[in-house]
Amino acid sequence: MLEANEGTREIADEINTRLSLNPGRARRIGNFGFIELEDTWGDETTILNTARVSTSNRRLNRVEDLTDKDRTLLRHLLSENHGTPFETIYLRYRFIAPIFVLRQWVKHRISTWNEFSMRYRKPISAFYIPGPEARTIDGFEVMTENQVSRYTDLLETMNRFYEEEYEKVCEKIDSARKRGTLPGKTGGRDPYRARARELLRSAMPVANYSDVYWTVNFRSLMNFFNLRMKETAQYEIREYARAAYVLFGDAFPLLKELMEDIGRAPDQPVSL
């Protein structure tokens, strides 16, 4: 069994901490995955105030103060695709997901994306292992337990290769410094170790997990939900999208209710 490196153990501990501190807005996904809605900016009143800027000086400050007229306007804006006011609400998610999921996710470009960098840190030495539901379609087992075992062995080998080769490079650098053939470390980023990380990360499989902060406005988030929660979306990103939707709905129950009422919500029920 592959032993998790120090950075991976720290991330695992942080996941547990976030689940404890923010249980209503954080979820585990799969064998090492995680998602949290860390922060939001704006609410339904922000949308209405923005929409009314050309027609009224009336401003709302609390969602609790919305009248039936306000709710009707909000419903109208959403149903008639008046998109700009919905760009005034922002949400920041943090998620830890397999790299192949991130390659699909990053295609939703109208957002801010900050990802874990293997130039500066060793990779997360945890990788996605498909469970029974992920590898079964309509009762047909696409990938057997024996194949999952071979898959796991291969990925452990690739991760172990990185750890062993990086350790060898570090020992080589330290020996060269002791002999005086390399300059001593002066603080900051070590260029020799950094170059080793840059080269060795090329061997990391896309099943390995990475860590992302994603900041997105509500209009773009609706598009993400509608595309990535469809039954035709890949199972793994669909699981993250479903979790993100539940967390969004807990934070903005009125918007979720309106989306579902007018048919703008994803086309499948969600409960996690």
| Residues belonging to the active site | 228
CB 200 within 8 A of CB 193: no
CA distances from 180 to 90, 143, 170, 193 (A): 53, 54, 15, 17
Main-chain dihedrals φ then ψ at residue 244, nearest 5 degrees: -60, -35
Write b or e for each residue in 20-53: b if 16 or more Cβ atoms lie within 10 A of its Cβ, otherwise e.
Answer: eeeeebbbebbebbbbbbbebebbbbbbbbbbbe
DSSP 188: S
CB 154 within 8 A of CB 193: no
Strand partners, 209: 98
3-state helix/strand/coil string of 38-61: EEEECCHHHHHHHHCCCCCCCCCC
**H helical segments located in the chain:** 6-21, 44-51, 68-79, 99-105, 145-179, 191-200, 218-228, 235-251, 253-261
DSSP 33: E
> Taking CA 185 as the corner, what is the angle to CA 181 and CA 189, rounded to the nearest 5 degrees?
125
